[in-house]
């Protein structure tokens, strides 16, 4: 991003903050209508105009209905899509839309008073709602509403626009009605501290509220949720309601969920060691040491084969061994080496995603395709499970559905790991974090990537720089306090300076962070309020870069992990 564009972005941030402070509030009244036309893109791009041909409608991911806008910025265009909306003079309107992506803007111009805009930095994972308000001038009869991304950023999505206020006379989509109460509320998997709930989707609902004992404890956009922070061996009553811009439905019929007794690892993974080391094995040659699976040192307990590839079928993945790039490594040798690792008590899983991975699981159909294709790979090659390393966002509702289906097919020994970026695990409200909590009963470990991120907030609210013991311990603390079992938390680091753009730390720093979290020793300035002796262990990218450095990482971290309490 060049300096001029950076300045424009900074001004937009200031403007958005000013709007928040000014509080240009205006509550829609009962007689108000949605003055936007084709607000959910169910009629394609009708009534909308997108700059430089940047817009298109897609069937996935959507927030509501069957379609949404996908607009793709370029280096010289922000992919602005706009519509002229009829309004009344001297009136207040509330503008909102659901968006997904990074640097997505929503605004109104030509208001006759103060034009408005708001934006979300986003991470590309899941829809979030943008909202602002404006007042029209004494002679204003139309305004332009718009959304856009930012120069050179990935495509963004937008859906379900609304311009609520007095009827401007230009027509528009019908105002929503209060949705019906959800039906089919059911209790799914439970742990000693959580209960998973699911229910039937409600037509015209844009969200759902989850109630525990009559008190609202969560708001979600999908038709499932996991309530955490519960006591072991205790019964709880749950209800859900559906919401949209018109209001909230009555609560559903109540169901009772009972947590399990405390003790033991709540997740899956069968016989994975209490303390384990995970390493990614590269199915490609990028300058690191080319390896066969048999070359991976015994210090690695879980080997994640990187990566499966997207297919033309939504959500489905495939795997092709790069025999030519790996010096003639054959499929038969590959399968035999996996079997030999099994005989040695090791686990080999298929990793989905990576930096360039484009797999999208955003509806029930793609979730089923994902689960079926992953399980097929498990049967074909002998993989013990799956690793989720999607760095371009995921949908917690449908990824949860897919992973639970894989576990149901593979049984209790199925290994499920995740490798989110640091930004994806900053809050339990993030899609990656929600997915981890949703599958807590079958999750083996989350090996968050403590690299390529810059400075981040720790669980104490302070900012820590990557490459330090404090960075590892204070960010791990967010997961440990946010609902994951300590046995489901691992520290992901590069094996060498060549393994990542930034964030490499020496094995001694990794070991110090492990000691701080499990024993309360070797801490830096940050010291957790309690110790977590069952912390799972550590992960590295990659076994190949480790080999390039003489296996210095696994030779030091492996024995240390296996000697943890």
Q: Which residue numbers are catalytic? A: 391
* 433 Cβ neighbours under 8 A, 6+ residues apart: 420, 424, 425, 426, 427, 479, 482
Render the burial of 346-356: b for 16+ CB within 10 Å, e for the rest: bbbbbbbbbee
Q: What is the dihedral of CA 350, 354, 356, 357, to 10 degrees?
A: 50
Is residue 519 within a helix (H) or strand (E), and if so which, with residue range?
helix 507-519
Q: How many residues does the chain have?
A: 565
Q: Which of 136, 381, 414 is nearest to 302 (CA)?
A: 414
Strands 247-248 and 92-100: unpaired
DSSP code for 441: T
Strands 104-109 and 142-148: antiparallel
- Start-to-end CA span in the chain (Å): 47
Is residue 429 within a helix (H) or strand (E), and if so which, with residue range?
none
> What is the distance between the alpha carbons of residues 533 and 500, in angstroms, rounded to a whole number?
29
Half-sphere exposure of 118 (CA within 13 A, CB side): 22
* 156 Cβ neighbours under 8 A, 6+ residues apart: 70, 71, 73, 79, 99, 100, 101, 102, 103, 104, 147, 149
DSSP, collapsed to helix, strand or coil, labels residue 541 as strand
Task: Give the angle 15-19-22 at the CA atoms, nearest 5°.
Answer: 130
DSSP string, 117-156: EEEE---SSS-EEEEEEEE--TT--EEEEEEE--TTPPPE
- Write down the H helix ranges in 270-394: 331-343, 364-381
Q: Which of 449, 447, 448, 429 is nearest to 438 (CA)?
A: 429
> What is the distance between the alpha carbons of residues 503 and 452, in angstroms, rounded to a whole number?
6
Phi, psi for residue 160 in degrees, rounded to 5: 55, 60
Q: Which residue has the tokens 């449908």?
A: 398
Half-sphere exposure of 508 (CA within 13 A, CB side): 0
């Amino acid at each position: 991003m060049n300096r001029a564009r950076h300045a424009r972005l900074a001004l937009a941030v200031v403007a958005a903050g000013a709007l928040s402070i000014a509080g240009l509030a205006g509550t829609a009244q009962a007689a108000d209508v949605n003055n936007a036309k084709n607000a959910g893109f169910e009629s394609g791009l009708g009534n909308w105009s997108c700059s430089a041909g940047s817009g298109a409608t897609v069937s996935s991911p959507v927030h509501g209905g069957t379609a949404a806008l996908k607009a793709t910025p370029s280096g010289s265009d922000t992919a602005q899509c706009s519509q002229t909306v009829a309004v009344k003079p001297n009136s207040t309107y509330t503008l909102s839309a659901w968006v997904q992506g990074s640097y997505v803007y929503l605004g109104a111009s030509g208001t006759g008073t103060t034009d408005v805009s708001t934006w979300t930095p986003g991470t590309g994972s899941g829809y979030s709602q943008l909202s602002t308000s404006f007042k029209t001038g004494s002679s204003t009869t139309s305004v332009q509403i718009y959304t856009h991304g930012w120069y050179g950023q990935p495509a963004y999505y937008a859906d379900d626009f609304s311009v609520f206020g007095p009827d401007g006379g230009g027509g528009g989509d019908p105002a929503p009605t209060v949705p019906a109460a959800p039906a089919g509320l059911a209790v799914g998997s439970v742990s000693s501290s959580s209960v998973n709930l699911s229910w039937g989707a409600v037509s015209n609902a844009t969200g759902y509220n989850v109630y525990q004992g009559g008190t609202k404890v969560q708001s979600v956009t999908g038709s499932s949720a996991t309530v955490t922070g519960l006591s072991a061996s205790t019964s709880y009553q749950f209800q859900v309601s559906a919401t949209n811009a018109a209001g909230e439905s009555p609560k559903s019929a109540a169901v009772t969920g009972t947590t399990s007794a405390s003790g033991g690892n709540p997740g899956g993974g069968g016989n994975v060691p209490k303390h384990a080391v995970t390493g990614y094995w590269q199915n490609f040659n990028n300058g690191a040491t080319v390896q066969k699976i048999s070359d991976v040192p015994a210090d690695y307990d879980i080997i994640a084969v990187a990566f499966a590839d997207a297919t033309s079928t939504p959500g489905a993945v495939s795997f092709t061994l790069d025999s030519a790039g790996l010096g003639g490594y054959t499929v038969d040798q590959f399968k035999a080496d996996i079997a030999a690792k099994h005989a040695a008590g090791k686990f080999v899983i298929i990793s989905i995603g990576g930096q360039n991975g484009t797999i999208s699981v955003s509806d029930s159909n793609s979730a089923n395709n994902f689960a079926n294709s992953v399980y097929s790979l498990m049967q074909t090659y002998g993989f013990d499970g799956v690793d989720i390393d999607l760095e371009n966002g995921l949908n917690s509702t449908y990824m949860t559905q897919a992973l639970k289906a894989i576990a149901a097919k593979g049984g209790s020994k199925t290994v499920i790991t995740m490798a989110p970026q640091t930004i994806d695990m900053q809050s339990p409200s993030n899609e990656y974090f929600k997915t981890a909590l949703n599958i807590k009963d079958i999750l083996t470990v989350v090996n968050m990537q403590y690299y390529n991120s810059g400075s981040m907030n720790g669980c104490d609210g302070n900012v820590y720089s990557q490459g330090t013991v404090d960075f590892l311990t204070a960010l791990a603390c967010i997961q440990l306090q946010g609902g994951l079992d300590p046995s489901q938390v691992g520290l992901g680091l590069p094996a060498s300076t060549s393994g990542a753009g930034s964030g490499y730390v020496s094995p001694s720093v990794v070991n110090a962070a492990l000691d701080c979290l499990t024993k309360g020793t070797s801490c830096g300035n940050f010291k957790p309020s309690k110790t977590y002796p069952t912390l799972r262990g550590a992960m590295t990218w990659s076994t190949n870069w480790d080999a390039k450095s003489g296996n210095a990482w696994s030779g030091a971290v492996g024995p240390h992990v296996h000697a943890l309490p």
